[in-house]
Amino acid sequence: MTDEPIIEGVGLNLTDMSPGRTDLLPEILARYRAIGCSHVELTARRLDFVVAGRLNVARAEAVGEIVAEAGLVPVLHANHAINLMDPDAEDLHEAAAAASIAACARLGAGSMVLHSGVLPADLHAAEGPARRAAERDRLRRLGDLAGQAGVRLAVENLIGKPGAPRVAYGADPVALAEQLAEVAHPWVGACLDFGHGWLSAHALGFDYMAAIEALSPFVWHLHLHDNFGRSGHSPDPGDEVTLGIGDMHAPMFMGSIPWAGLLPRMRFRPRTFGGIELNGRYRAEAATVVATAHAIAAHLNHGTPLQNPYKDALQ
């Protein structure tokens, strides 16, 4: 056991916030603080920190002040659109990532999530290794910027399905671990999305426990949520809940991720952030979910036994 905690802080995301409505932030963040959040994961695509690849200085500074007044520590999820393997506008995507790092510096955010790269299936088949090499070069340059700003970059595992029109190599946590090992930059690590991995394991046929364990030594940012490992999509998200399909972003232990067997195998880096990516339809459960995230942190930090708050809820 090191002197540093494995999990340092937990906090909810802002994915369901109305775009651009910074006037709503004080009330939202006060509620987060009241239910036990120490951090908040700011969602870039809701807050427009980057415009056309450039930093929106006024927005970053204004949000930074609001978060500080709320007494929370910010982290940032950079825009989903940033794709360091983009075949048509790689320089723009790298500029947007660099501007996002600059936003972190203005916000006082010490961790930033980036999605791992994706490619059209035909281009992946023809140029996959070369495109991954280009992503490594870009991650190293961004890592240099991140180091100067004191921001830990966290590359996230995505969702993969056989025959999909776009291929996310990072849907396989082992492939993402191999990519990060080759990047070999002290400011570039991983964001582990437990739910993405669970869906991808069932769709692609890899061993979830072993794959997540292989990625875990690179991890210093978590996305905590749950699902049932069943691929699928419905125009009505309520139907997805009824059938237990897709990327539900449900409370931990409400789905079928094997938390009790999985967590003891994790070898996260010290001071990993325990981010909670909760679907807005479950906000009534937010206090329970935050308490569960604290329990997961205590389990990893001190070996405290886990409790399943939904053990008798679904019958």
What's the average model confidence in pLDDT over 25-30?
97
Residues whose CB is less than 8 angstroms from the CB of residue 130 and which lie 6 or more positions away in sequence, other chains included:
none
Percent of the chain at pLDDT exceeding 90? 94
59-93 pLDDT per residue, tens:
999 999 999 999 999 999 999 999 999 989 989 99
pLDDT of 248: 97
221-254 pLDDT per residue, tens:
999 999 999 999 899 989 999 999 999 999 999 9
C-alpha to C-alpha distance for 154 and 140, rounded to whole angstroms: 13
pLDDT band at 302 (very low <50, low <70, confident <90, very high): very high
Q: Which fold has domain 7-302?
A: TIM Barrel (3.20.20)
Q: Is the pLDDT score of 269 beyond 60?
A: yes
3-class SS of residue 313: coil
159-184 pLDDT per residue, tens:
999 999 999 999 999 999 999 999 99
pLDDT of 120: 96
Beta strands in the chain (DSSP E): 7-13, 39-43, 50-51, 54-55, 73-77, 111-115, 118-120, 152-156, 166-168, 188-193, 219-224, 272-276
Tokens of 307: 């409790």
**Which residues make beta-bridge pairs with 156?**
115, 191
pLDDT of 1: 42
Give the mean pLDDT of the chain. Answer: 96
> Residue type at 307?
Q
Alpha-carbon distances, residue 138 vs 15, 75, 155, 185 (angstroms): 26, 21, 12, 11
